[in-house]
Amino acid sequence: MSWIVVGVDGSPSSQVALGWAMTEAGLRRVPLAVLTVIPAAVEASGVTGQMSPLDESFSDERRTEVQRATQDIVDKAVAERAGQPEVTVTVRAVAGLVADELIQASGDADLLVVAARGAGGFARLIMGSVSTQVAHHARCPVVVIPAGWGS
Amino acid sequence: VSAARRVIVGASGSPGSLRALRHAEDLARHSVATLIPVLAWTPPGGDLAARRQTCPTLVHIWHDAAWQRLWAALDAAWGEIPADMLVEPVVQRGLPGQILVEVACHPDDLLVVGAGRRGVLARMWHSRVSRYCLAHAQCPVVAVPPAILAQHAGRGLHGWPFRRRALSVEAFLHHGGSVTA
């Protein structure tokens, strides 16, 4: 069994990534899993710098709410590509460290699709890049859609 | 948003790039795209040294050697050039990241690179090309991870003989491999 995972956070660039992933899933005739990660509050160990999410920082209501919002985005994307091959889409929202959850989801997937925000220079130095982190640690091939692509 | 028309792949001949080549072949096949393996070369000793004393004969030899490396890489990855698709190899002088981004200049392109080695020390020197491509490309970039066995075997300090152990099925499964009975 194979499928494609796409990370969607609601930003315009992630919606472009969703469109790309749908086209690819249609070409390969495989199901598509849409994953939204709610960034959890993080606790960093003072000794090792290891980051771990705090469990109490999110609730089930919040997750349901986010999942509904993602479902709306997916419905809109499905409506936009009417006439092209049908794609089975599942939506899931989880809370945790964004890159970690995406890397975990890549374990048994065929392809992982993410969008780059396109932060450069100082902003990138401070915040890092989820897409770069995912691309270098995922277990399956990762497609990174550049910011501003397709517009 | 349409399917890719050209699949550009970095083909340096490293183990990671061979995996990228095979993945690019799959991608090109199911989206009916032209496959463009690219190898970038720089003169031995670097461009600065070559600029001090330019020698056309040497440049010619280096260019030919680069073509030979590219054919060897394609041979190692596929055994033969796939007959059911258009393959247009490119050899250019320059830094790999810049050349790859330059060749993959159209938004309809797809750039495939090996994601490079993992590990705290390895990433200081390796996976620079993939990082450059991820940051600078104008088209979607596919980063293909190294093989599970390559990650396990290790090189450099991790590849020292006294650290080598037989690979058990448990360890293989732990690294994400699958076993068929």
Provide the 3-class DSSP secondary structure of residue A32. Answer: strand
Averaged pLDDT, B117-134:
77
Residue A123 is encoded by which pair of tokens? Answer: 């902003």
Residue B155, number of CB atoms within 10 A of its CB: 13
pLDDT, one tens digit per residue, over B38-97 is 999 999 888 888 888 888 899 999 999 999 999 999 999 998 888 889 999 999 999 999
Judged against a pLDDT cut of 70, whether residue B2 lies above it is answered with no
Give which of A1, A143, A151 to mutate to test B binding, by max B Cβ within 10 Å.
A143
Distances from the Cα of A119 to the Cαs of A116, B65, B125, in angstroms?
8, 39, 23
Rounded to two decimals, the pTM is 0.83
Task: Give chain A positions within 8 Å (CB) of B3.
Answer: 23-24, 27
Q: How many Cβ atoms sit within 10 Å of the Cβ of residue A96?
A: 19
> Taking CB atoms and an 8 Å limit, are B134 and A139 in contact across chains?
no
Mean pLDDT, range B95-119, rounded to an integer? 89
Q: How far is B140 from chain A (nearest CA, A)?
A: 4
User: ipTM score here?
Assistant: 0.84
Query: Over the stretch A133-146, which tens digit does the pLDDT of each residue have?
Result: 899 888 899 999 99
pLDDT at B1 (0 to 100): 45
Calculate what percentage of chain A has a pLDDT beyond 70.
97
